[in-house]
Structure 1
């Protein structure tokens, strides 16, 4: 009898010991990505669309078993495009949520504000929605998109070489984003021995552009390089037209051409540099999967911002799956390998598109990053 009891107890111990092993094999800890972006306020469409694009890809990944058996969790917090909120969000994501990676933050001033935090923690900061040079020279930061220097050069070359314009002025958002582009645009003008005719500024997250408009009108500018988000820039273009001031306008990709063009009320000469392919013009397999994913997500009008979020997720997944186990060093190394492959195949480019209301012309002039 005692022998039977001993056998039963032994079997019970074996069963109990095996339970945690089964649970561990089927429920590995998720990979946590933390994102801080404008999800409300005047720049909300940027953060919302970028997150929607990434979510669509990660949903597919998780449905197919995740990254080497680990699901991906994307925790996105709203910072309203205000740096102090980005700082609070980042501290929470690192210290409380214990994220593994900071992913697809939106904006230069917001990303700039958290540099001391990410430098201190050496946490990977990948695929930010900005082309600022200040985020391009650190080992723990990975950029997928082209730089603002690339975009600025394309704009100035186009205005001077193809349009023959030399009187160029700037409308600048008064923060790190504006300063970054001001420097890039000024640098791009140097080969032509040109300087900006005038520089006017406006406050971030505001549409207070009347004084700036008056200053730029008085400058006699033939073209104005715009640096800001879609709402104030659309208001500037519309108000300029009402005052019979009709120069060429340019903007970098951060503006979201889709959102800007939708708010322009009259025929206008607006040029926007883009760093993602046309949504309906990209023929690569991942672009085709993107359109299918957008349809499944009930997003009927996908934009380049959606596509960039999807591309960011696509690149992260391909780097992460090559790391077993996943570590910061391996992830960043694999991301750099992917970036070198993209640069070599000239997939990372700046595209210049021209918008005249109700007559959109995609010029298809490509400048590939070095």
Structure 2
């Protein structure tokens, strides 16, 4: 380099404006400098029960999301980035869910949390992800505390337990003229949330609760609860419980000759039937998505095609997770730059027709779906019904 060129370059570098600009360019992070976002990937953390008494639901949620994400990734992802779903087993234990969540946020550096299962699990980790400003997306629970008051970092897809219990009580009272309703519930955040929704629906109609049976979480010790309900003798029992203790309760109720109308909140049909067998017949279930066995909606046809290609059996639970994955990807496509805060702002404005299902959010509404469907288990299969008559 000649002395004249060196002098000119040296003068440029010493220019305060130029040197500041160079430092700014060197220090500016790349456009993907957000936890969980790289040039090639977007990381999601999922902690739920892959083993234990709720594993049937956890596995279905994993399957539904993975099937959709795999399809998106095979088509080059979202703006060239593939979605990587990191799944950890918590066995439906809050302590393990806390451990997994901290690892996702602090070590794995995920962009968001997705597809957790259960009210007690959600209750245990809310302080962790809200403090870290990490989005918590579409947990498998209808608990009120995740919806009201609205939290900037929490988005739910499914209708709430309050929505479900209102439909349950409405149909029982209007279609069957039932006036005595009891509850069988898990003695934790799940049971409390469901029971609270039921009490609101009953108070609205000036009806008392007739029978209150509770059992300990992660057990099948349902005898005391059953005895309380048999003694109260309600005409209908609404159940807020995972499928394993529900199945045990149904079997023991039938053995006792206790046969009220059994109503169950939206959960996995397949795991319940596998556990309860013929004793599940007659159970009426609310569902937050259409019954994949007999719906003609485009979203169901798309889901069934993808599940068949993956060699997996359909179930409302995996359909719900598949839909959640679809909503997540749609929001990703609309977000630029891809940061958590920008993504949340996009979700709060998102309105989409997801193959015949209307999904929408706003700053004051972080629950994407409000529609409910009724099914009845007959001969081991869920059949869509319009009423209870």
TM-score over 0.5 for the pair:
yes
Q: Does 1:249 align with 2:262?
A: yes
With structure 1 as the length reference, what TM-score do the two structures score? 0.86
Instruction: Find the counterpart in structure 1 of residue 51 from structure 2.
Output: 40
Q: Does 1:149 align with 2:167?
A: no
Q: Which residue, out of 333, 339, 362, partners 2:384?
A: 362
Q: Secondary structure at the match of 1:41?
A: coil
Q: Secondary structure at the match of 2:140?
A: coil
Question: Once the two structures are superposed, what CA deviation does each residue of 1:229-249 show, in whole Å capped at 9, x if it has no partner?
Answer: 111111111111111111111
Q: Which residue, out of 287, 294, 298, partners 1:274?
A: 287
Question: Once the two structures are superposed, what CA deviation does each residue of 1:205-236 show, in whole Å capped at 9, x if it has no partner?
Answer: 11110111111101121111111011111111
Task: Count residues in correspondence.
Answer: 339
What CA distance in whole angstroms lies between the structure 1 residues aligned with 2:352 and 2:383? 31
Instruction: Find the counterpart in structure 2 of residue 349 from structure 1.
Output: 371
What CA distance in whole angstroms lies between the structure 2 residues aligned with 1:104 and 1:217? 36
1:349 Cα offset (Å): 1.1
Instruction: Find the counterpart in structure 2 of residue 115 from structure 1.
Output: 126
What CA distance in whole angstroms lies between the structure 2 residues aligned with 1:295 and 1:267? 26
Q: Does 1:333 align with 2:345?
A: yes
What CA distance in whole angstroms lies between the structure 1 residues aligned with 2:145 and 2:183? 21
Contact 2:247 2:280 in 1 (8 A): no
1:329 Cα offset (Å): 2.1
Contact 2:158 2:369 in 1 (8 A): no
Q: Which residue, out of 121, 128, 134, partners 2:139?
A: 128
Q: CA RMSD in A?
A: 2.2
Question: Once the two structures are superposed, what CA deviation does each residue of 1:144-170 show, in whole Å capped at 9, x if it has no partner?
Answer: 111111101011111111111111111
What CA distance in whole angstroms lies between the structure 2 residues aligned with 1:227 and 1:335? 30
Pair 306,84 (structure 1): closer, same or farther in 2 beyond 3 Å: same
1:139 Cα offset (Å): 1.1
Q: Which residue, out of 280, 301, 314, partners 1:302?
A: 314
Instruction: Find the counterpart in structure 2 of residue 218 from structure 1.
Output: 231
Query: Where does structure 2 lack aligned partners over 5 or more consecutive residues?
Result: 1-31, 33-37, 362-367
Q: Does 1:314 align with 2:326?
A: yes
What CA distance in whole angstroms lies between the structure 1 residues aligned with 2:351 and 2:186? 30
Q: Does 1:96 align with 2:96?
A: no
Contact 1:246 1:268 in 2 (8 A): no
Q: Which residue, out of 80, 83, 86, partners 2:91?
A: 80
1:42 Cα offset (Å): 1.1
Q: Does 1:30 align with 2:58?
A: no
1:269 Cα offset (Å): 3.4
Q: Does 1:167 align with 2:180?
A: yes
Q: Secondary structure at the match of 1:31?
A: strand
What CA distance in whole angstroms lies between the structure 1 residues aligned with 2:238 and 2:294? 27
Query: Where does structure 1 lack aligned partners over 5 or more consecutive residues?
Result: 1-23
Contact 1:156 1:188 in 2 (8 A): yes
